[in-house]
Structure formats: structure tokens, C-alpha cells
């Protein structure tokens, strides 16, 4: 048996009472009519005439995706795919590919048997109806960024929303059915296939306002919102989910529904952080927008220590400095601790000028300069610009060309770019990935030493990054109040950061020339990630994980992702998807299915 299989087997017995309790909260589908899903070639798989009927119903937009690396693919298709392999926009434009190529011992990117290239909610409804009637495995993909492989499955029918990418601004939006109950708000409506760069270009660059979204520009809007939705400035404006005003969603019965605080409120609540692909297919979202601050900016710095004692002192000063000067709505993104001797800052700020940011960091830099046993290996750098230019591609190409990588294909939209710092994740093959929310109590003077010891120990293994924007402690009261009314794990309200340790390698799509993942190395590195997170979990017992950035093999994932919110999510699943049509790995109700989602049984992991 593989190491992970042994681990899972060893953990099964003590989890049996929990699984028994959880089963009581599962959707009625466990005893319903849908017992298994069909694969091509099995009795009952739709005949060609039935597929043709679906093709007509969706205006001819029924595809049979073929990977450019499949044995039958043309040489031209393969050469083109290899040339564009580093372009996340190109990967997203291919229904056969995903933004992550796989995860060691977990999953591998595989195209669906058929895909509906949806252009409207009616197309989505037709696909959902077809999958339900014919007992098909259904998959939904917009941005295709799921680390856990939830946007792909072999032998499935894919609802591909990529071409539903319209963005519309509102000066005074009132959710349907809420007139007189909810005050009008400035907002933006975004179709499910749009990426965050599309939203930022419309809202900020051209519209002069802010919408809380993801840090990576190619992530799909719909998937991020449904998973919670942290961005670089969540410490100020909360999560994307907590700013959702309304959603249009196709439920398992094929109905196009509106969900907001006044109409289908439980469905609306579940969509706000309950995980994508479990309750329905979102086709449009409307999010509130905010006034822009004067400036957005960033800070970069790397320091190395000469001895273990010096490194611990550096970590202690960094933690204390964060608590004193940065633990507020102005600051987000990361401090990294790795190599047993290296400390790296890659942070962003909002609402401060460059001079104010420099003044904020002056005491820390003075401490560093006074030490003889630490040295700066990447000089301190602060950059600030008018907030309207943060996602302004033309401005960035002129003044910060090294910060972005543009979609260089002929005819590509000029505003499409990805941050250079995110480029190493394009098509990557994951070895290990874990996250844990760290409570703000660890920043209290009496607890800082324990946190410093844990970070110093973690840095000896693979290393860890503290994502301060992915914990809402220190955020304004109104942002926390909105986030409290979402399905996201309640721990996020009291967390000052999300700790992440992860590693991966070059793209490894099946059939790709040279794509032979070194699984032995991958397992060693996954073990290093486990060793990295162990001391942090020791000082933050029972820490939850962010559903979008977490361990594929996470046990007790219901508690880990949603905590006390899981029972309510299970009830929403029972109401809106009683037969379990929608399945994703470690999604609400997936306990009742096999790991691949095709048959009733215990889901792995």
C-alpha cells in the first residue's frame, strides 16, 4: 500500500463515529433513486441521437473535448499547446485542459466526454436536465483553477461557462424581491465565465471603483466567490462572498433561480463560501463595489540570518513588528519563512502613500541595520501608484513591465495579463499543499514566543507563508459582520493569517512530451509540507483550512472547511439537490459517493 493509503486506513477507525454522525446530515440522495452514474459504453449511456438532441437544444454548442496531448491529437495542435503552455489564458480557452495539471497520488487532468460551451443560463439548464435524466457525472468549469481537481472528470458532461463573460456596472442595485427592504448599492454583475481581470478592468481601470476579488487575475469569478473569495485587500473589504448581493443559479431540477437575501435565502447563504459545484451552477453574480482609496502599493524585502539564534531573533522581530504596525486594514499578502535562515516580505497596502509606507517600515529596517548577524539579500523596495492603475495593463506595461506577463496571442484582449509572481502556477503539478488559519490570540505578547518557535521550526522543513489578507482579524467591523453571514468557516473571523505550505513542479498533462512526474520526489516533498505545518498546528489546534487552498487528503474536511456551518450547508444540499446530482471532491454531500463521484459509497480522503 502507498504511504497515504496506509495513513488513511490508520485514521479510519477513530473517525467512524464522526462519519456516522455526519451521515445523518447527508442529503436524502443517499436513499434516493440515483445510485450510480453512467460511463461511455455502459447500458443507458445516451445514444448518438440523444446527444444530437442536446446539441440542437444548446444551439450547436456541444463539444467533444480532446486534449492536445492525446494520442489522436494532431501534430499542429500539440505544437501549439506546447508553445502556449505557459499562458494561463490559453489553458483556460481549451475545454480539455485545466489550470492545474494534477496532484501526486490524487488526481490527473482529464477531459470530459462531452462539453456544453454555454452561452446562456438556458444552455446550462439544458445540460443539467440532460445529465439528470441520463444519470451522467456533471462537471462545471469557468476558470478551471481548482487545485483539488473539481473542475474536471473523465467520462463526464462538462458545463463550460468560459464564454459567459459579460460584466455590467450598476449605480444603484437592489436585489430581486428586496425593494424597500435593502438599500440600493453600487454594484457589478459578472457572468460565471469571467475572470477577475475582466471584473477589475471594468470596475477599477475604467469605472474608478473597487470590487473585492482574487489576487490571481485568471481565476474565475464564480468559483472564487463560492469558495469564500480572499483577495489581496480582504483585510479592508472582507471576502468576495460577503459582498455578494445576488446570484443567478441553475439548480439540480434544471430551474434558473435567483438567490439573494430575500429570495431563496438559504441557497444564497450556501453559495457564499459553501464551495463551488455542490448546490448548483452559478451563471451570474452581482457584487457590491466600493470607493477606491487614493493609492495601492507593494513592499518587497528579503533577509538572511547567519545563525539559528539570529534567525529566531529575526522571526521574533518580524512577528512583533507585524502586530505593532501592520495588523490593520491597510496591509495584506505575505511574509515567508523558509530555508531555516530566510525571511521574505511580499506585501501590499491600500490607502497609504509611498512615504507613509516607508515610514511604517522604518523601525523594522533600523532593527535589521543594527544587527551584525542578519543581512539584506533583496533590497527594501516600496512602490505606490494611484489605485485606478493597479490592474491597468497599459500603465503596467509602461512603468512596471517586469511585474506582469501578458496574453501574447494574436487578438487577445489588451487588458489580459497575469502577475509574474503567479506565473509558476500555470499548469503546475502539485506535490503537497496545506493551509491552516492562525488565531489572532497568537499575536498576544504571552503567545508570540510559541508562534515564533513554530515559524522557526517550520522554516527548517519546506517553509511557510503567512497570508495576512486571508484572515479577517483586524478588519473593520462592517467587513467582519458581512463575513459572519457566510458559509465560510467561522475561524476566519478571528484569524490574523492563513498559513500555507505548498510545493509543485512543471506541468504534467497526460501524454505531454517529457511529462513524467517524479512521484518519489513528490512524496518526499509532500512529507516536508506535512512537517512544515506540524508545529503550526501544534500552536493552533483544530485549525481550519481554506477550501480553495488546502490538502486534497484532508481528513475531517467537513469540520476543516466549514466548522459549525456544515450542518446548515447539508440542509441546503438536501433541499436543492436531493438526489446528489452535483458532486465535487470534499464538497457538501460528497460523503455519500465514491472518490470519483460515480457510485454510492464512502468518498476517499
Total of domains in the chain: 5
Residues 6+ positions from 497 with CB-CB distance below 8 Å: 437, 438, 466, 467, 468, 470, 471
Detail the DSSP E strand segments found in 153-233: 157-160, 167-173, 185-191, 209-210
Round the average pLDDT of the chain to a whole number and report it: 94
Same domain, 155 and 104: yes
Q: Residue 483: enclosing H or E segment and its boundaries?
A: helix 477-484
**What per-residue confidence (pLDDT) applies to 23?**
40
Question: 157-160 and 114-117 as β-strands: parallel, antiparallel, unpaired?
Answer: parallel
537-579 confidence digits (pLDDT tens): 999 999 999 999 999 999 999 999 999 999 999 999 999 999 9
What's the CATH code of the domain at 253? 3.30.465.10
Share of the chain above pLDDT 90, in %: 92
State the Cα–Cα distance between residues 258 and 248, nearest whole angstrom: 5
Phi, psi (deg, nearest 5) at residue 14: -65, -15
Among 576, 585, 598, 523, smallest CA distance to 264 is for 576
CATH number (domain holding residue 157)? 3.30.43.10
Report the CATH number that the domain containing residue 386 is assigned in CATH.
3.30.70.1150
pLDDT tens-digit series, residues 176-195: 999 999 999 999 999 999 99
The model's pTM is 0.93
Alpha-carbon distance of 419 to 425, in angstroms, equals 11
d(CA 401, CA 557): 41
Mean pLDDT of 472-487: 98
Q: pLDDT digits over 429-459, tens only?
A: 999 999 999 999 999 999 999 999 999 999 9
* Residue 37 vs residues 42, 44, 110, 126: alpha-carbon distances, Å: 10, 10, 17, 18
Per-residue pLDDT for 16 more than 90? Answer: no
Domain's final residue, options 361, 390, 419:
390
The rounded percent of the chain whose pLDDT value lies above 70 is: 94
Domain co-membership, 570 together with 582? yes
Q: Which residue has the cell 446528489?
A: 580
In this prediction, residue 603 carries a pLDDT of 53
Q: Three-state SS string across 523-540, please? A: HHHHHHHHHHHHHHHHHC
CA distance 490 to 484: 7
Q: Give the strands of the sheet with 331-338, arranged side by side.
A: 107-108, 102-103, 429-439, 495-505, 464-467, 331-338, 342-350, 295-305, 374-386
475-512 in b/e form (b: 16+ CB < 10 A) is: beeebbebbeebbbbbbbbebbbbbbbbbbbbbbbeeb
Beta-carbon contacts of 421 under 8 Å, excluding residues fewer than 6 positions away, are: 346
460 found inside a domain: yes
Domain match, 156 and 42 both: yes
Q: In this structure, is residue 180 part of a structural domain? A: yes
The reported pLDDT for the residue numbered 516 is: 86
Statement to judge: residues 58 and 25 lie in one domain: no
DSSP H or E run through 377:
strand 374-386
| 545 lies in the same domain as 584 | no
Cα(359)–Cα(533) distance, integer angstroms: 33
Q: What is the pLDDT of residue 5?
A: 39
In a domain, residue 419? The reply is no
Report the alpha-carbon distance of residue 315 to residue 368 in Å, rounded: 11
pLDDT tens digits, 504-524? 999 999 999 988 899 999 999
The string of pLDDT tens digits covering residues 119-161 is 999 999 999 999 999 999 999 999 999 999 999 999 999 999 9
Q: Supply the pLDDT for residue 11.
A: 35
**What's the Cα-to-Cα distance from 252 to each of 207, 278, 367, rounded to whole Å?**
36, 10, 59
Q: Are residues 328 and 346 in the same domain?
A: yes
Q: Residue 287: pLDDT above 50?
A: yes
Domain, as residue range, for 100: 32-162
| Same domain as 211, residue 157 | no
Radius of gyration of the chain (CA): 24
Q: Are residues 450 and 526 in the same domain?
A: yes
pLDDT for position 163: 97
Q: Cα separations (Å) of 585 from 158, 177, 256, 371, 438?
A: 16, 34, 24, 49, 25
Same domain, 566 and 550: no
92 and 58 both lie in a single domain: yes
Same domain, 599 and 548: no
pLDDT tens string 49-95: 999 999 999 999 999 999 999 998 999 999 999 999 999 999 999 99
DSSP string, 95-152: TT--SS-EETTTEE----SEEEE-SSHHHHHHHHHHHHHHTB-EEEESS---TTSTT-
Task: Give pLDDT, residue 515.
Answer: 85
pLDDT at 602: 60
Q: Give me 377's grid cell.
A: 539579500
Residues 6+ apart with CB under 8 A from 120: 164, 283
Instruction: Assess whether 538 and 566 both reside in one domain.
Output: no
Amino acid at each position: 500500500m502507498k504511504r497515504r493509503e496506509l495513513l488513511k486506513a490508520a485514521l479510519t477507525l477513530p473517525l467512524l463515529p464522526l462519519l456516522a454522525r455526519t451521515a445523518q446530515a447527508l442529503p436524502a440522495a443517499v436513499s434516493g433513486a440515483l445510485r450510480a452514474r453512467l460511463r461511455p459504453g455502459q447500458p443507458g449511456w445516451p445514444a448518438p441521437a440523444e446527444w444530437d438532441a442536446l446539441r440542437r437544444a444548446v444551439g450547436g454548442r456541444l463539444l467533444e473535448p480532446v486534449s492536445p496531448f492525446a494520442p489522436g491529437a494532431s501534430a499542429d495542435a500539440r505544437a501549439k499547446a506546447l508553445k502556449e503552455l505557459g499562458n494561463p489564458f490559453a489553458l483556460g480557452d481549451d475545454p480539455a485542459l485545466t489550470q492545474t495539471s494534477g496532484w501526486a497520488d490524487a488526481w490527473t487532468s482529464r477531459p470530459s466526454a462531452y462539453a456544453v460551451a454555454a452561452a446562456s443560463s438556458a444552455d446550462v439548464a439544458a445540460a443539467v436536465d440532460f445529465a439528470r435524466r441520463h444519470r451522467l457525472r456533471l462537471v462545471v468549469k469557468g476558470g478551471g483553477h481548482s487545485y483539488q481537481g473539481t473542475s474536471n472528470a473523465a467520462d463526464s458532461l462538462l458545463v463550460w461557462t468560459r464564454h459567459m463573460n459579460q460584466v455590467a456596472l450598476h449605480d444603484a442595485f437592489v436585489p430581486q424581491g428586496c425593494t424597500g427592504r435593502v438599500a440600493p448599492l453600487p454594484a457589478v454583475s459578472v457572468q460565471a465565465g469571467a475572470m477577475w481581470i475582466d471584473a477589475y478592468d471594468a470596475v477599477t481601470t475604467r469605472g474608478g471603483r473597487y470590487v473585492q476579488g482574487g489576487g490571481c487575475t485568471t481565476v474565475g469569478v464564480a468559483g472564487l466567490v463560492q469558495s469564500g473569495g480572499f483577495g489581496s485587500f480582504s483585510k479592508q473589504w472582507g471576502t468576495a462572498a460577503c459582498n455578494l448581493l445576488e446570484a443567478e443559479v441553475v439548480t439540480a431540477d434544471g430551474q434558473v433561480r435567483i438567490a439573494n437575501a430575500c429570495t431563496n435565502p438559504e441557497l444564497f447563504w450556501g453559495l457564499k463560501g459553501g464551495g463551488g459545484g455542490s448546490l448548483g451552477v452559478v451563471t451570474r453574480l452581482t457584487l457590491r463595489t466600493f470607493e477606491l482609496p487614493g493609492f495601492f502599493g507593494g513592499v518587497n524585502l528579503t533577509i538572511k540570518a547567519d545563525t539559528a539564534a539570529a534567525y529566531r531573533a529575526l522571526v521574533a522581530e518580524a512577528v512583533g513588528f507585524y502586530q505593532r504596525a501592520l495588523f490593520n486594514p491597510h496591509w495584506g499578502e505575505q511574509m515567508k519563512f523558509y530555508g531555516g535562515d530566510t525571511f521574505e516580505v511580499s506585501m501590499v497596502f491600500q490607502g497609504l502613500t509611498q512615504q507613509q509606507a516607508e515610514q511604517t517600515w522604518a523601525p523594522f529596517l533600523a532593527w535589521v541595520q543594527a544587527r551584525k548577524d542578519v543581512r539584506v539579500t533583496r533590497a527594501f523596495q516600496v512602490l505606490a501608484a494611484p489605485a485606478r492603475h493597479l490592474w491597468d495593463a497599459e500603465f503596467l506595461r509602461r512603468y512596471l513591465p517586469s511585474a506582469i506577463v501578458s496574453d501574447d496571442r494574436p487578438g487577445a484582449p489588451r487588458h489580459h495579463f497575469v502577475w509574474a509572481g503567479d506565473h509558476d502556477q500555470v499548469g503546475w503539478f502539485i506535490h503537497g499543499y496545506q493551509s491552516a488559519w492562525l488565531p489572532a490570540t497568537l499575536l498576544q505578547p504571552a503567545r508570540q514566543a510559541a508562534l515564533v518557535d513554530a515559524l522557526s521550526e517550520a522554516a527548517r522543513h519546506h517553509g511557510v507563508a503567512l497570508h495576512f489578507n486571508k484572515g479577517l482579524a483586524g478588519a473593520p467591523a462592517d467587513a467582519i459582520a458581512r463575513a459572519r453571514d457566510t458559509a465560510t468557516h467561522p475561524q476566519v473571523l478571528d484569524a490574523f493569517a492563513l498559513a500555507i505550505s505548498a510545493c509543485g513542479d512543471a506541468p504534467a498533462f497526460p501524454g505531454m512530451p517529457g511529462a513524467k512526474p517524479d512521484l518519489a520526489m513528490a512524496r518526499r516533498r509532500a512529507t516536508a509540507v506535512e512537517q512544515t505545518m506540524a508545529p503550526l498546528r501544534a500552536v493552533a489546534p483544530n485549525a481550519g483550512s481554506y477550501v480553495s487552498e488546502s490538502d486534497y487528503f484532508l481528513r475531517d474536511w467537513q469540520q476543516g472547511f466549514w466548522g459549525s456551518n456544515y450542518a446548515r450547508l447539508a440542509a441546503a444540499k438536501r433541499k436543492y439537490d436531493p438526489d446528489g446530482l452535483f458532486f465535487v471532491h470534499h464538497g457538501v454531500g460528497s460523503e455519500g459517493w465514491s472518490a470519483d463521484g460515480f457510485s454510492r459509497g464512502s468518498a476517499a480522503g
